[in-house]
Amino acid sequence: MASASGAMAKHEQILVLDPPTDLKFKGPFTDVVTTNLKLRNPSDRKVCFKVKTTAPRRYCVRPNSGIIDPGLTVTVSVMLQPFDYDPNEKSKHKFMVQTIFAPPNISDMEAVWKEAKPDELMDSKLRCVFEMPSENDKLGITPPGTAPAITSISIINNTVATPASYNLKNDPRGLNVFKQEKQKNDMEPSKAVPLNASKQDGPMPKPHSISLNDTETRKLMEECKRLQGEMMKLSEENRHLRVLLVASSLVCTLHILCPSHVNCLLPIE
């Protein structure tokens, strides 16, 4: 009996698996669903590994075998192929990670596995778990357990936006100051004094900038109208000058051609 029990004894799995027992696949399963399995080698020797499954047609594993150096980790991607999910049917798929200490010289991995003795092999088994997204996940509703974290995030955002509100609950004076500042900021643009804007380090409020832009626009429009009026006056004067220039040219021509205006004006006999 002692010899039989010694023959059946196996080495404990040397690799550290993450996750250790279950491979969880979260639906919907209309497309490929991938989950990762991490294999860490905590020993000081190289370890050969091989990944096996009871449903090889339903999964794609990369890498499905290899060698892990001492102290390193290998991530194995397990890809579940699309299928019609039945919530009443429990998954019976299982995976097994088989390992063996690597020999000093490795030339043929297949030969290493074929020549391995049963008591040299180490293995770990994992079961597959299929999970469908809950209704809260579909609707984007946060589970109750995570509500405080979201609240804390909103408080942090409010603190960044308004630093004075950080200790408002603990400091009533700060609350009064904050209310006074809010009342000042809520003043109508027409009642705001332009000198206050110069004392502020930041840019002017949007209502002020909009009113300034409107004022400048009106000034530009009035300036354009004034320039258009001047151009019309200049064009009219230019037209009068042209008429005078043509008339003076005609007079000069008449003086040159006809010294006596009377003779030029007499009818031809």
**Digitized pLDDT (tens) for each residue of the chain, 269 residues in all:** 444 444 456 789 999 999 999 999 999 999 999 999 999 999 999 999 999 999 999 999 999 999 999 999 999 999 999 999 888 888 899 999 999 999 988 888 899 999 999 999 999 999 999 998 876 555 555 555 554 444 333 333 444 344 443 444 444 554 454 455 555 555 544 444 444 444 445 555 444 444 456 777 878 888 888 888 888 888 888 888 888 888 777 777 776 766 555 444 444 44
Retrieve residue 114's tokens: 């074929």
Quote the CA–CA distance of 172 and 167 in Å, as a whole number: 9
User: Helices (DSSP H) in the chain: which residue ranges?
Assistant: 2-8, 109-115, 135-139, 147-161, 172-185, 194-199, 206-257, 261-265
Residues β-bridged to residue 95: 53, 126
Specify whether the CB–CB gap between 130 and 96 falls below 8 A: no
Retrieve residue 223's tokens: 């300036």
Entry pTM: 0.49
Quote the CA–CA distance of 14 and 259 in Å, as a whole number: 132
Quote the CA–CA distance of 120 and 101 in Å, as a whole number: 8
Quote the CA–CA distance of 269 and 195 in Å, as a whole number: 91
User: Who's near 191: CB < 8 A, 6+ residues apart?
Assistant: none
SS3 content of the chain, % helix, strand, coil (to 5): 45, 20, 35
- What pLDDT, on the 0 to 100 scale, is given for residue 13? 93
Residue 68 neighbours by CB distance under 10 Å:
21
